[in-house]
Structure 1
């Protein structure tokens, strides 16, 4: 049985491949004044919490 971390890692790798294997220069991180941290790929409007 695989651990949750291994499953999460596999899902992230699948997402990365489906996104065209973007390089690190295409990722960004926004930290809001309330401390919320958001990661994004190419467009800060399509961010997700980290």
Structure 2
């Protein structure tokens, strides 16, 4: 699985951060006896922060 992160300073004291987990949206199955567990799909998060 691949993850990606992007950070950008929009203006003085203002930052934008974007993170992507499982960039290629691959699905993996892990068997545990009688139950199968799947990893989470692609997830995108964004954060805008300002500091003063």
TM (norm. structure 2) is 0.31
TM (norm. structure 1) is 0.31
Structure possessing the higher relative contact order (Cα contacts under 8 Å, 6 or more residues apart): 2
Counting strand residues as a fraction of each chain, which structure ranks higher? 2
Counting helix residues as a fraction of each chain, which structure ranks higher? 1
Which of the two has higher C-alpha Rg? 2
